[in-house]
Amino acid sequence: NAGVTQTPKFRVLKTGQSMTLLCAQDMNHEYMYWYRQDPGMGLRLIHYSVGEGTTAKGEVPDGYNVSRLKKQNFLLGLESAAPSQTSVYFCASSYSIGSGELFFGEGSRLTVL
């Protein structure tokens, strides 16, 4: 099992460009999440999904959109990238919400110039 796979691993964007981060999990988990991690800030939840076709806002959703068209995939989109979105993005999945442990991907490092 590959677990949680994120693509791409690195990306450099110019301000105003758009891009999509792809997250795929092969554990048949219902729940998927997108976090961003910045120095000294910890992991902050951007959006999450409790099942195919559903999404919800997390702590820092502004400037991002998500889609969960298939159970195994969770896409994070930036429509118009800003330097403040320079960060490391982590996707995670879990079997249950609440006390279920999270399985994380390896991260996607995004730099917006």
Which positions from 53 to 92 touch another protein by CB under 8 A, shown as an x/- string?
-----x-------------------------------x-x
DSSP 8-class letter at 36: E
Select 15 or 111, whichever has its Cβ closest to another protein. Answer: 111
When computed from its CA atoms, the radius of gyration of the chain, rounded to whole angstroms, is 13
> Which range in 13-21, 32-40, 65-73, 77-85 contacts another protein by CB under 8 A?
32-40
What lies within 8 Å, CB to CB, of 20 at 6+ separation is 75, 76, 77, 78
User: Tokens 């902050």 label which residue?
Assistant: 44
Helix then strand then coil, in percent of the chain rounded to 5, is: 5, 50, 45
Select 41 or 79, whichever has its Cβ closest to another protein. Answer: 41
User: Tokens 């279920």 label which residue?
Assistant: 100
* Residue 99 binding another protein, by CB under 8 A: yes
The residues of the shown chain that bind another protein, judged by CB under 8 A, are 4, 33, 35, 40-45, 48, 58, 90, 92, 97-99, 101-107
